[in-house]
Amino acid sequence: MHSCKQTSARLMVDLAAIRKNHTRLAERVGGAECAAVVKADAYGLGVREIASCLSEKVQTFFVAQPEEGCQLRRLLPEKRIFVLHGFSPGRPETMVDHSLVPVLNSLEQVRQWRAFCQQVGTEHPAALQFDTGMSRFGISEDDLRDEVVRGLKPVLVMSHLACADQPDDPANKEQCQRFLAMSAAFPGVPRSLAASSGIFLGSDYHFEMVRPGIALYGLPPHEGDRSLFPAIGLEAQILQIRTLKVGERIGYGLTYRAEQPMRVATVGIGYADGIFRSFARNGALWKGDIRLPVLGRISMDSLSVDVTHLPDDATREGEWLTLIGPQQDITKVADHVGTIGYEVLTSLGYRFDRFYNG
Ligand SMILES: *Cc1c(COP(=O)(O)O)cnc(C)c1O
């Protein structure tokens, strides 16, 4: 039997680059611990591979959901794993069963956790989140006065910045000051405020631990920053070459019409793979430094590009074209479709062959 694994798109993940990015970030934060955020299947890149590639350097990992924590625990029996959403309502025991540390985000969660610990007779470790201005997760300044909070002995206090990708936004300083003030209620407990972009706001934001996610994968924390190594490539294969006469049209809705004779390649990647339909507006694929504009609408499993100017020896079925690479990074792709790199990454489909080097 021959292998059925013959997909027409492939994702290349450079694990060596990811490790180098962790080293860069760890150097930048000096004595603070540099954890790793691997929620959402490590931003769509494959949590198994990413977590094991980082496991020599990283002692502390963060995921969003209890389920992700259980999965990561099987991969990393020895590491500390925080669950950002805390335990599922009514299910604190999952945390203990899998040695996960919940991040407690509300007064109600703190109350349930403490009742659970009292019931089992052990003070299991938990982290406590403060809302310092984002109004998303975390207890408020008022909640700090509640007895149930005052009696908690968290292993970490944390908060999250809303505007860290905009270094000049005054909200950063305001949140940092509020975090300092709220943390004072738990003297000596390690503090964590910064995710990827926050790390680049300077040492005032580093405290005892930082929690980068996207920066590990090489996406720039601020516009124009070039200090990280790109770690992701995406290629798709030409499935057909066609020659169009003037007036012939392409794809659903026949929205593109050839104004001169042209060569068109049908490429095996589409919106089911996370290539948004809006990418058609001014997106392109690349072969080396030759830009191949997308023509017409993007289908579920394919899209069409203009290969009129591609040399004949590269214009054939089976040839690989670049969608994410040095010519066009994830941020560029995100700009084309009007979103952010995070959404492009986490939207990448599960049909790709994934190649991990390093
Ligand atoms: C997702 C997340 C992170 C990591 O964010 P990046 O911007 O990817 O570095 C850190 N902390 C919290 C609370 C998060 O939700």
Q: Strands 80-83 and 101-104: what pairing?
A: parallel
Residues 237 and 134 in one domain: no
CATH classification at residue 168: 3.20.20.10
Q: Mind listing the pLDDT tens digit for each residue in 175-218?
A: 999 999 999 999 999 999 999 999 999 999 999 999 999 999 99
Report the pLDDT value the prediction gives residue 295, as an integer from 0 to 100. Answer: 98
Residues 39 and 157 in one domain: yes
Report the pLDDT value the prediction gives residue 130, as an integer from 0 to 100. Answer: 98
CB-facing half-sphere around the CA of 67: CA atoms within 13 A: 2
- For residue 88, the 8-state DSSP code is P
Residues 65 and 134 in one domain: yes
Report the pLDDT value the prediction gives residue 3, as an integer from 0 to 100. Answer: 78
Helix (H, G, I), strand (E, B) or coil at 137: coil
Residues 236 and 113 in one domain: no
> Which residue range is the domain that position 209 belongs to?
31-217
pTM: 0.96
In a domain, residue 15? The reply is: no
Report the pLDDT value the prediction gives residue 160, as an integer from 0 to 100. Answer: 98
Report the pLDDT value the prediction gives residue 223, as an integer from 0 to 100. Answer: 83
Residues recorded for the chain: 358
Active site residues: 39, 252
State which of 217, 247, 266 marks the end of a domain.
Answer: 217
Q: Is 211 close to ligand 1, i.e. is its CB under 6 Å away?
A: yes
Give me the sign of the Cα torsion angle 56, 59, 65, 69: positive
- Burial (0-12, 13-18, 19+ Cβ within 10 Å), 168: exposed
Return d(Cα 188, Cα 182) in angstroms, integer.
13
Q: Are 194 and 165 in contact (CB under 8 A)?
A: no
Give me the sign of the Cα torsion angle 223, 137, 45, 32: positive
Return phi, psi of residue 132, to 5°: -105, 15
Return d(Cα 358, Cα 356) in angstroms, integer.
7
Q: Please give the distance, rounded to the nearest whole angstrom, from the Cα atom of residue 212 to the centre of ligand 1.
A: 6
Q: Please give the distance, rounded to the nearest whole angstrom, from the Cα atom of residue 108 to the centre of ligand 1.
A: 23
**Regions of the chain where pLDDT drops below 50:** none
In a domain, residue 110? The reply is: yes
In a domain, residue 18? The reply is: no
Q: Is 132 close to ligand 1, i.e. is its CB under 6 Å away?
A: no
Residues 255 and 341 in one domain: yes
Q: Is 218 close to ligand 1, i.e. is its CB under 6 Å away?
A: no
Residues 296 and 149 in one domain: no
Q: Please give the distance, rounded to the nearest whole angstrom, from the Cα atom of residue 83 to the centre of ligand 1.
A: 12
Residues 344 and 274 in one domain: yes
**How many domains, the chain?**
2
Residues 243 and 205 in one domain: no
